[in-house]
């Protein structure tokens, strides 16, 4: 598509040049790709226990995490039990309807998890959920055409 020679200068150019638009889109794509790796939220390493009977929970402003060493985190920040108690009191005073989401490492002490539940209930947070790593139940695997493994009884192993 070169320039027309020997034609009228009054002709209307009817072609659309999309090259600048493609250039802008490619630059935006590169910017999004670069910034996507920077917007990576740090997470606390917690290996959640597995359960087949879990469901989605609502978004919460009270996330309590207990790691394998028994350390407590409140909304991603290292904390202690009294700081969690103070946070709940502050949010309740502001009129917030809190729901606690408790995530504990599967090797964390049962007493720590019970302590977290007890703490939030003492402070008036009656809605709470325990975070799990969902696994499909064996019945769902069988319905989907898969065969669910059946473990052998302890005395029948060869």
Task: Pick the range with the lowest mean pLDDT from 18-22, 58-62, 139-143.
Answer: 139-143
pLDDT of residue 76 exceeding 50, the answer is yes
List C-alpha distances in Å: 29 to 15, 34, 44: 26, 9, 30
How confident is the model at residue 24, as a pLDDT? 93
How confident is the model at residue 158, as a pLDDT? 45
Could you state, in order of their start, the residue ranges of all structural domains in the chain? 58-133
Residues in the chain: 158
How confident is the model at residue 156, as a pLDDT? 46
Task: Pick the range with the lowest mean pLDDT from 16-20, 32-36, 88-92, 147-151.
Answer: 147-151
* Pair of tokens at residue 39: 């917007």
How confident is the model at residue 141, as a pLDDT? 52
List C-alpha distances in Å: 89 to 20, 21, 51, 123, 124: 56, 54, 32, 7, 9
**Residue with the larger pLDDT of the pair 55 and 97:** 97
When pLDDT is cut at 50, 70 and 90, the band that residue 157 belongs to is: very low
Architecture, CATH, for domain 58-133: 2-Layer Sandwich (3.30)
How confident is the model at residue 22, as a pLDDT? 93
Global pTM value: 0.51
């Amino acid at each position: 598509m070169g320039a027309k020679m020997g034609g009228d200068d009054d002709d209307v150019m009817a072609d659309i040049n999309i090259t600048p638009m493609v250039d802008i889109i490619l630059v935006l794509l590169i910017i999004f790709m670069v910034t996507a790796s920077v917007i990576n939220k740090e997470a606390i390493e917690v290996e959640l226990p597995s359960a087949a009977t879990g469901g989605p929970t609502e978004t919460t402003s009270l996330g309590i995490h207990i790691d394998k060493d028994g350390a407590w985190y409140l909304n991603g920040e290292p904390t202690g039990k009294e700081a969690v108690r103070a946070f709940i009191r502050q949010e309740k005073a502001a009129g917030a309807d809190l729901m606690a989401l408790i995530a504990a490492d599967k090797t964390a002490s049962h007493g720590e998890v019970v302590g977290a539940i007890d703490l939030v209930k003492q402070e008036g947070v009656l809605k709470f959920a325990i975070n799990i790593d969902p696994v499909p139940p064996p019945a769902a695997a069988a319905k989907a055409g898969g065969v669910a493994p059946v473990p052998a009884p302890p005395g029948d192993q060869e």
